[in-house]
Amino acid sequence: MTQQTLSKKQEAALLALEFRAIHTATIQYVLSDARAHDDDFQFALADAIDEKVAQLKAQYSVDYNGEFLCQGESHQLTGSNLHSVNSAGRELALFLAEYESIKFV
């Protein structure tokens, strides 16, 4: 195997190259039939989740991907630190598990 000779500009380009691994924690669920059409419950749940996500973002330096979609309800946390994303995702999952009307898929 021969080594390629790089120009100064190519060397500079490679030095400017940045690789970043992005980890995700995704949780998906549906609401029980009794709560699926209960707007008051859904608004209260959304407010509680927003508050929890804000706390997790601050505590673990993760981001929230509000554009992630699935057939049910879903939430996705992202970040470059696997341990932080794992911890934040675990906390969110345990938080959601407190609601009897949530069924995980």
Q: Which CATH number belongs to the domain containing residue 69 in this structure?
A: 3.30.70.1230
Range list of H helices, 1-105: 8-16, 39-60, 82-97
Counted domains in the chain: 1
At residue 91 the predicted structure's pLDDT band, cuts being 50, 70 and 90, is very high
- Residue 58 burial (10 A CB sphere; 0-12, 13-18, 19+): exposed
CB atoms within 10 A of CB 72: 13
**In which domain, by residue range, is 42 found?**
19-104
At residue 17 the predicted structure's pLDDT band, cuts being 50, 70 and 90, is confident
Q: Determine, yes or no, domain membership for 4.
A: no
Q: Determine, yes or no, domain membership for 2.
A: no
Put residue 92 in one of left, alpha, beta given phi > 0 → left and psi -120 to 50 → alpha.
alpha
Q: What sign results for the dihedral spanned by CA atoms 100, 101, 102, 103?
A: positive
Q: What sign results for the dihedral spanned by CA atoms 78, 80, 82, 84?
A: negative
Asked whether the predicted pLDDT for residue 21 surpasses 90, the reply is no
Q: Determine, yes or no, domain membership for 8.
A: no
Q: How far apart are CA 95 and CA 52, in angstroms?
A: 8
Q: What is the pTM of this model?
A: 0.79
Q: Determine, yes or no, domain membership for 10.
A: no
Q: Determine, yes or no, domain membership for 14.
A: no
